[in-house]
Amino acid sequence: MKTVKQELNTSSMGAQQRTAMVRPNFFSALLRKKESAIFLALLGIMLTITIVAPSFATIGNIYRVTRQISFVAIVALGVFIVILTGGIDLSIGSIVGISGITCGLSMAAGLNPVIAVLIGMVTGTVVGLINGALVAYVGITPFIVTLGMLSMARGSIWVMTKGWPVEKIAPSFMFIGQGDFIGIPIPVIIMVVVAIVAHVFLRYSVFGRRVFAIGGNEEATRLSGINVKRIKWIVYGISGFLASITGIILVARFSSAQTSSGDGWELDAIAAAVIGGTSLSGGAGSVLGVLIGAAIMGVIRNGLVLMKVSAYWQTSIMGFIIVLAAIIDRIKNRQPQS
Amino acid sequence: MNGYLVEMMGITKRFPGVQALSNVDFRIGRGEIVCLLGENGAGKSTLMKILTGVYRPDEGEILFGGEAIRLSSTRDAYERGINIIFQEFNLCPNLSAMENVFLGNENRGKGGTFSYKATQRRAEEYFRRLKIDIDPSTPVNRLGVAQQQMVEIAKALAYDTKVLIMDEPTSALADKEIGNLFGIMRDLKARGISIVFISHKLDEVLSITDRVVVLRDGHNSGDIATRDADEDKLITMMVGRELSQLYAPRKNPPSSEIAVEVRHISGPPNIRDISFTVRKGEIVGLAGLVGAGRTELAKLIIGAVRKKRGEVTVFGKPVEIRTPADSVAAHIAYLPEDRKNSALILGMSARENITMSIHDRITGLFRLISVKKEIAVVDTYIRSLSVKVSSREQCVETLSGGNQQKVVIAKSLAIEPWFLILDEPTRGIDVGAKAEVHAIIADLADRGVAVLVISSELPEVLHLADRILVMHEGGITMEMDRESANQETIMRAAVGST
């Protein structure tokens, strides 16, 4: 594809008519098309599940599924921003867990829930910023830094709790995990707010422009006079912060801070981003795509349960879907062999 | 038999919305070096992609040794002995030269295992035959660009190659290495191998080829024996008009006021104690061989690489430059030599690329980017540099080399530079775009910008610069004004024989 397009346009003189052929919003139109394709896939999956297991399309189930999706989606938006810079964050699942635990322990110690929530958020953000500092300023590969952090953060949870869940949770706090507003679960509302802020931030802020630029070409961005290291540092902080939000909501959802909370979620979150069309090499992707990707993951998980697929198979199938998404992405971007 | 090995006749190729080639003829004789010449977008690469089986022509036929053939994949082309060496090499940097040469064509020992010994033996003999002076077991990433190219050539010839296509093979080579390459090309020719040579450098075309085929806008526009050709004729065939003026005249002489003073700069990898000044409105040319340290000097000045010592003053005031951001703040702009890897974000639009260095100036409420402010800046530069884009939203990846370069220039100008460092500003762009870039540079100097032009093309340095500095092994070996400089004096200083 790419080379053909280059052919069409690699002309500088006496060929205005050629360049005029490329419609102004060709690329954004293509992007939109990409999102509508995965949206259709989502609808198709939902339809299939409904036919096999009609209980899917009940209001109660839809309510639960969207809430479940929102947990993953918030985490996915964080790792999505990291992926846009060409990085990766594997520690998000553990950050979900550790933020929930510090939030829960603070409440169990009798602190005001608002303070406890802040403590949870600070925990996630700080862990993220540590990742970011190691990646940006020490220069270690993101894969290794965050893989190590995955284990360090999870281990810290066990150290702090000796493996026991934290159960003395303030009842007033549970609303953010269990309540709803005009029939919409609170976590879904939080997800929508996060998504809108993320979208505006990425598309229209200077910081967002630079995030895409780094993923597109880090060296060119640096030579343009942009402090690349600072931005790379901060995106891991953002990823940690968003993971902490989900961690905190999960405490409220289950009325306890579980030590296994968020375990393995990096898989779902990264998969949501990739299914949503985010390029793993950075520089391309959209918030809307990530949300649809998270919805596909959530709907399939729910559908497998409703269709009474064995739990052993479910894990395999989810892994298969991720690889399938990557294959589709590869085929779509395949270039003619040169 | 008419002596032609390959005859492409009446080749037509359409892409959606574009006629890339119309009824093009291209013939290659046995043991002939043919130059395929044309501006970017003239259809050269499409034609070569048809010859190597990447594209299929819509109309026309290809004869190989007088017999009509169909090339429906790159494999078909390989099997016929048609091979191409791209401008960007396709080597595995971590493997040795010989492993690269025989990649996909390995010597098997007993039981199908890779035989290191047999490979080594075969490679040594092979390199000797090609007069390539490289130890076959050296990893490619320890070889210089010229040596890597030799490995590419050896690799191409490891298949039984009859036609070798070389896409701008000299663009990354120094003069001596080019001479070496030409020697090998002549050897191949003597052994009956046909070569298609694609290059923008007309002096090279005139010295090495037997015949020149020119394309313009997808049509044949000339087919001339090299002995009957000269630069003017070729340029006329390429652009369809006389291009006597590749260099615009200057309107204002440089001012006497010193704009930039660089004092005693030293730093990695090999820059030692360099000092020079650039006056307001002056163009200083920086010549030297590849590896002399010109780009490295520029990177120390703009803070892309941390300097060990030295200082830069702008209009008498010392400026502390530790990072490229400091350089931008000091109104010092740098245009990198490697457009695609260091200057542009290919997947982004012309708009986003042009404003990359001036985000602080185009924000409004909450530090969000103000579309209005951004567009105003972008449109100003697109107009003043006449960048040919379908719209400011066009992805820069789809622009021609010349227009990509103009986008990079626009980005540098957006920071309103007092001092502009241009590193190989016309590399890889066609003649027409070159003239435009030269005119832009002259115009900037006329308007008072201090300009430092790094260029490996001596005519460019000689015509463009008011004053010339020559570097050799990390130091400045000569400074001369335009009147007293000529190609010979520059070359002497560049090789260090002053």
- How do residues B401-411 score in pLDDT, each as one tens digit? 888 999 999 99
ipTM of the complex: 0.81
Looking at the partner chain, which of A9, A22, A219 has a beta carbon nearest the beta carbon of B342?
A219
In a domain, B43, yes or no: yes
Residues B55-80 have pLDDT tens digits of 999 999 999 988 899 888 888 888 88
In three-state secondary structure terms, A83 is helix
For the cut 60, the answer to whether the pLDDT of residue B243 exceeds it is no
Q: What residue in A sits closest to B18 (Cα-Cα)?
A: A8
Pick the residue with more confidence: B164 or B120? B164
Between positions 169 and 208 of B, the ones with CB within 8 A of A are none
pLDDT for residue B161: 87
Instruction: Give Cβ neighbours of residue B93 (< 8 Å, ≥ 6 apart).
Output: B139, B140, B141
Q: Compute the average pLDDT of residues B253-266.
A: 93
For the cut 70, the answer to whether the pLDDT of residue B241 exceeds it is no
Q: What residue in A sits closest to B53 (Cα-Cα)?
A: A338
- Same-domain pairing of B235 and B266: no
Q: Compute the average pLDDT of residues A4-33.
A: 42
CATH number assigned to the domain covering A39-329: 1.10.3470
In a domain, B485, yes or no: yes
> Among B184, B207, B239, which residue terminates a domain?
B239
Looking at the partner chain, which of B239, B357, B389 has a beta carbon nearest the beta carbon of A19?
B389
Q: Which residues of B touch A8 (CB under 8 A)?
A: 15-18, 20, 398
Please check whether residue B385 is in contact with residue B360, taking contact to mean a CB–CB distance below 8 angstroms: no
Q: What are phi and psi of B454, to 5 degrees?
A: -95, 125
- Same-domain pairing of B235 and B298: no
pLDDT confidence of B40, banded at 50, 70, 90?
low
pLDDT for residue A148: 97
Residues B211-229 have pLDDT tens digits of 999 998 788 988 999 999 9
DSSP letters spanning A130-149:
HHHHIIIII---HHHHHHHH
- Distance of CA B270 to CAs A47, B306, B470, B479, Å? 66, 13, 15, 20
Q: Compute the average pLDDT of residues B433-450.
A: 92
- Its pTM stands at 0.77
Q: Flag the least confident range among A256-260, A293-297, A334-338, B426-430.
A: A334-338
**Smallest Cα–Cα separation from B87: which of B168, B150, B153?**
B168
- Same-domain pairing of B315 and B224: no
Q: What residue in A sits closest to B414 (Cα-Cα)?
A: A224
> Among B196, B212, B239, which residue terminates a domain?
B239
- Same-domain pairing of B353 and B208: no
Q: Token digits for A25?
A: 């919003």
For the cut 60, the answer to whether the pLDDT of residue B1 exceeds it is no
In a domain, B408, yes or no: yes
- Same-domain pairing of B103 and B197: yes
pLDDT for residue B327: 95
Which range of residues forms the domain containing residue B61? 4-239
Q: Which residues of A touch B304 (CB under 8 A)?
A: 222-223
Amino acid at B109: G
> Among B186, B205, B239, which residue terminates a domain?
B239
- Same-domain pairing of B374 and B486: yes
pLDDT for residue A29: 59
B478 CB-side CA count, 13 A: 22
In three-state secondary structure terms, B48 is helix
Pick the residue with more confidence: B273 or B496? B273
For the cut 80, the answer to whether the pLDDT of residue A140 exceeds it is yes
pLDDT for residue B494: 82
Q: What residue in A sits closest to B394 (Cα-Cα)?
A: A24
Q: Which residues of A touch B302 (CB under 8 A)?
A: 223
- Same-domain pairing of B195 and B266: no
- Same-domain pairing of B138 and B272: no
pLDDT for residue A20: 36
Contact status of B46 with chain A (Cβ, < 8 Å): yes
pLDDT confidence of B166, banded at 50, 70, 90?
very high
pLDDT for residue A16: 35
> Which segments of A162-205 does DSSP mark as H helices, in order?
175-178, 186-204
pLDDT confidence of A165, banded at 50, 70, 90?
very high
Interface A-B: count of C-beta contacts within 8 A: 169
- Same-domain pairing of B31 and B151: yes
Q: Compute the average pLDDT of residues B191-212.
A: 90
How many residues are listed for chain B in this entry? 498
- Same-domain pairing of B271 and B235: no
Interchain pair A217, B49: CB under 8 A? no
In a domain, B9, yes or no: yes
Distance from B343 to chain A by nearest Cα, in Å? 5
In a domain, B249, yes or no: no
pLDDT for residue A122: 98
What CATH number should be reported for the domain holding residue B12? 3.40.50.300
Interchain pair B16, A8: CB under 8 A? yes
In a domain, B244, yes or no: no
In three-state secondary structure terms, A291 is helix
Question: Running DSSP on this structure, what letter comes out for residue B249?
Answer: P
The mean pLDDT of chain A is 87
- Same-domain pairing of B136 and B60: yes
pLDDT for residue B2: 56
Between positions 378 and 437 of B, the ones with CB within 8 A of A are 388-391, 393-395, 397-403, 411, 415, 429-430, 432-433
Q: Flag the least confident range among A8-17, B118-127, B317-326, B467-476.
A: A8-17
The helix or strand, by DSSP H or E, that contains position B204, with its residue range, turns out to be helix B202-208
Cβ neighbour number for residue B56 with a 10 Å cutoff: 12
pLDDT for residue B143: 83
pLDDT confidence of A74, banded at 50, 70, 90?
very high
- Same-domain pairing of B78 and B216: yes
Q: What residue in A sits closest to B354 (Cα-Cα)?
A: A224
Cα separation, B164 vs B25, in Å, equals 18
Q: Flag the least confident range among B29-33, B216-220, B261-265, B313-317.
A: B216-220
Residue to substitute from A4, A30, A217, A224, interface B, most B β-carbons within 10 A: A224
User: What is the count of structural domains for chain B?
Assistant: 2
pLDDT for residue B259: 95
Cα separation, B494 vs A34, in Å, equals 54
DSSP letters spanning B10-21:
EEEEEETTEEEE
In a domain, B246, yes or no: no
Q: Which residues of A touch B399 (CB under 8 A)?
A: 9-10, 19
Residue to substitute from B388, B389, B405, interface A, most A β-carbons within 10 A: B388
Q: Which residues of B touch A283 (CB under 8 A)?
A: 345, 347-348
φ/ψ bin of B341: left (φ > 0), alpha (ψ from -120 to 50), beta (otherwise): alpha
Per the DSSP assignment, residues forming a β-bridge with B472 are B475
Q: What are phi and psi of B367, to 5 degrees?
A: 60, 25
Distance from B151 to chain A by nearest Cα, in Å? 19
The mean pLDDT of chain B is 87
Contact status of B114 with chain A (Cβ, < 8 Å): no
Distance from A10 to chain B by nearest Cα, in Å? 4
